[in-house]
Structure 1
């Protein structure tokens, strides 16, 4: 394991490899949080705070605005055999770092750690005060969110005028995010011995119309503030039955709905209840969507500065990210970071190392007003 006291900060690739090689599957982020805290506490221009396994570092330069840069420390579980330690493959601009967390989202974390060490030192003063937030428990249910806990325990540490979340975007700007809601849709039957099945009612058979509805559902595409979001409705789990010789008296289909930021959470829930009218529907997890908000003056300034270096145009974020939580706090936020989101959570997770420097340099130029 990397020594927490000696995280490298002078080379982005070495830094990313080091933080990836400290395993931090959700619920086991303490060692990485310790390493991050040690590195940041050694920087005289930062004040550092700890809340559980979330680490917050702030400059106090007296600027008239504050920018928040945030990323989560946790990853999904490792593969079997484990896709750690990391390995570097390829040459030149085609080099890639392989391993769990390289995309989601330790590449973004590495960029922000490098900026935290650099910006605020003499000769590298940013035009805004900066807050860096590295938090735990993002890859699990919303109730465990480290950012949610931080907002509850220390809302003052999250205060800011604009936020950048270092989620993987392939160095593009992605605005807003989809909302997500999971529900359990349950059918009821009557238990009976399977040899005398006519005496029962099979709850699994009764779930067939639910699966047919999901299979035939046509997800819509919705334009929000100039960005086109694609919705999705899918069964992500099914359970029922207690034994191989018993007609089941209950069956539950777990459904995940990813909805465009044109809908509120309440509207998304109502849509599901209308679709599954006549069935038991219980919400098990829900997080709101976030509108792009690219018309906010600071967001527009960020977009202009970054695209001047990277080209392209803003895109929608497919999936949920904590830009939604910042939006709830009244802070405009965008997604911007290295890594292809299509490789997030994949067995062959890997990031092009050239994107690390692209994102670091674009953020640095914006933050110092270059």
Structure 2
């Protein structure tokens, strides 16, 4: 009987692995893809060098006035001269440390919450949700511990954008979950109220909600009662965004197999416990992409508060462009604002992908 000697497997061809393999698979997998890849590379070749030349090589970086912009490239002197205003609005310069301290504390708390194997996360989360907002407001507004009062009319720039988006997200998520549960309720009155609320708010543009909250709401309040303009905007954004979050969460609830609800009932769990311990964790895990898209839209929609004279990052940039000393800096201002919005949205999307991988429980082949 002939014996056959087993040889080790040969390595895959060089054209199928590594950089060459990736290029063949993704960019040159067919004649049409090859043509489109070459055309795209040619367009990039035409577009990128002029942009780099304008933004970096011929750009002006140092100076305090427009007279320093003489090279013909981008005038980043405009951004440098108004950088603090873009970040803090009209917040007093001597009090900027209060804003930086507040956001530093918030970043530290978020870091503790997302870091693995940190004990006491329940207490950290409770402190972040229920105690930190009062600390942040007192630091921002002042009037306590000898801190000068800074009215909300002086808040602006990136500071205001982060306040609007953070408060809107934190308030819209629990409101949306309650509305989603109410819409799936078997109680007709509760279900009708939730459906009416969701359809009403989803059928109205956010700009109309902000306008009504700022201009029309005071007309219906008792004489002598007034709400801060920023507070009105925060309430309007939270109520509006809560309706969209509700529909996203409802989609996750409908995707949960009926057997999960029956299993919870067979264990003798109440409705509240079955939702909190079994159903909602699975539903929220499934709708992470949808929630992230909703939150990114909220972050970008904060620019609409300019209609009620609140100057967020984009609003303060637009206000700076109307200064006669800096006329013609439109491109530089919008590029600066766009880069900030892109950086935050890209960071949120990357973290959502991390959460999806972390909570993935399916069996992949």
TM-score (norm 1): 0.25
Q: Which has the higher helix share?
A: 2
Greater RCO, CA 8 A, separation 6+: 1
Structure index of larger Rg = 2
> Which has a greater percent of strand?
1
